Amino acid sequence: MKKWVFSLVLFLSSISLFAQEDFKIICGPYLQKMGENEVTVLWITNREAVGWVEIAPDDSLHFYADTRPTYYQSINGRKAIGRLHCVHVSGLEPGTTYRYRVLSKEVTRHEDYFVQYGHATGSDVYLRTPYRFTTFDTRKDTIHCTVVNDIHGHNDIQKALLANVTAQKTDFVIFNGDMANHLSSETQIIEDFLQTATETFAAETPFFFARGNHETRGQLAYEFLDYFPSPTGETYYTFRDGPAFFLVLDGGEDKPDDDIEYHGLGDYDRYRDEEARWLKDVVASEAFQQAAFRVVIMHVSPVNDSWHGALETRRKFIPLLNGHRVDLMLCGHTHRFYYAPAGQDGCDFPLLINPTEHAVDLDISTQQLHLRLRDTTGKTVKTFSFDAKH
């Protein structure tokens, strides 16, 4: 009997091993936190592994011509093990194009004093062209970027609006909130928008994420910054490329903190208070004031809305932005187009609410900001132009 049981266990184990899915990358890579001297590369594997990024100059030599500089995700000097790989690459040159690949080696056993590795996987640089990215450059005279919002898991809309985004034409993309209905699981994030983004553009063109009120919901909402890291470690932050300074704000939830829908977990009023204190220093900074253009990105609009979130952002943020030469604010949330010129609705800057089915293309030079609203067919819906405030 014991021999029979042992044989059965061995047989079932062999079936399980045979049926196990190959170790692989299930999403990514995608680029975050692009700057003049840095970028963060993320990807997800189906099992736990150690991951790293290799960087090569964009020259005529094959990627395999030499040993390439290697960057790991490490925590206090120890290489991280996990499924979500987040590798920060630093020491880069401004306005420079690099080639890169990502690799992961599966960790099949991890004990106190022993680690066993399995197979490795990574992006192909042999049969296909390596991925590329170009670092930001504040000395550039012009930039082009695209903003979308309120996709709510509709990948067909995202594909149509971002189909023409390429690293050669677009410096970056901005997701201005509510790309998903909620963040319930990693699988849901991938299926709702992230897989489409990585397959369409995000492996070579970075995107920045302004958290929407729907990204505050769901069991995985606490891990938002793990998947979409920011320069400040908060969901509000700034970045600069070419002549434009971008200020990304987080309007939080749209209803009062004690609303039954938040089940006693809402604390957004206090978070907006902290954000306002940070914002006061940003708008007074030399970097903000010296940029040719200053663009504010926030999902929840502070105007044309009387819900709690809108009233909070209007009361806490608008007085800090007024008087500091803001050139444009872009919002979403209401799913309806709305435009308020400077001086209307209590704002001394123009404000545009973009609907779900439109993308906002921004072409910014040292002298002018040109804005084009484009629908899913590529047709221009509206255009606006703003001159620099000298």
Residue type, position 263, single letter: H
What per-residue confidence (pLDDT) applies to 3? 54
114-122 and 97-111: which strand pairing?
antiparallel
Averaged confidence pLDDT in the chain: 94
What per-residue confidence (pLDDT) applies to 15? 47
Task: Tell me how far CA of residue 261 lies from CA of 98, 181, 281, 312, 359, in angstroms.
Answer: 46, 14, 33, 18, 30
Indicate whether 52 pLDDT > 60: yes
State the Cα–Cα distance between residues 121 and 273, nearest whole angstrom.
45
Q: Indicate the SS3 state at residue 11.
A: helix
What per-residue confidence (pLDDT) applies to 18? 45
What per-residue confidence (pLDDT) applies to 8? 52
Indicate whether 260 pLDDT > 80: yes
Please say whether the beta carbons of 49 and 81 come within 8 A. yes
State the Cα–Cα distance between residues 101 and 199, nearest whole angstrom.
15
Mean pLDDT value of segment 116-143 = 95
CB proximity list for 167: less than 8 A, separation 6 or greater: 132, 133, 134, 201, 204, 205
What per-residue confidence (pLDDT) applies to 7? 53
Residue 17's pLDDT band (cuts 50, 70, 90): very low
Mean pLDDT value of segment 135-163 = 97
Mean pLDDT value of segment 56-84 = 96
Task: Tell me how far CA of residue 137 lies from CA of 93, 94, 95, 141, 239, in angstroms.
Answer: 9, 5, 5, 9, 11
Q: Indicate the SS3 state at residue 220.
A: coil
Task: Tell me how far CA of residue 24 lies from CA of 71, 104, 120, 265, 368, in angstroms.
Answer: 20, 8, 8, 36, 46
- In percent, how much of the chain has pLDDT > 90? 91
Indicate whether 272 pLDDT > 80: yes
DSSP codes joined into one string, 347-365: -SS-EEEPPTT-EEEEEEE
Write down all domains in the chain, each with its CATH number in brackets: 25-134 (2.60.40.10), 142-387 (3.60.21.10)
Indicate whether 58 pLDDT > 50: yes
pLDDT digits (tens, 9 = 90+) for 167-176: 889 999 999 9
Give the pTM: 0.93
What per-residue confidence (pLDDT) applies to 168? 86
Indicate whether 262 pLDDT > 60: yes
Residue 386's pLDDT band (cuts 50, 70, 90): very high
Task: Find out whether the peptide bond into 29 is cis, omega within 30 degrees of 0.
Answer: yes
What per-residue confidence (pLDDT) applies to 383? 98
Indicate whether 1 pLDDT > 50: no
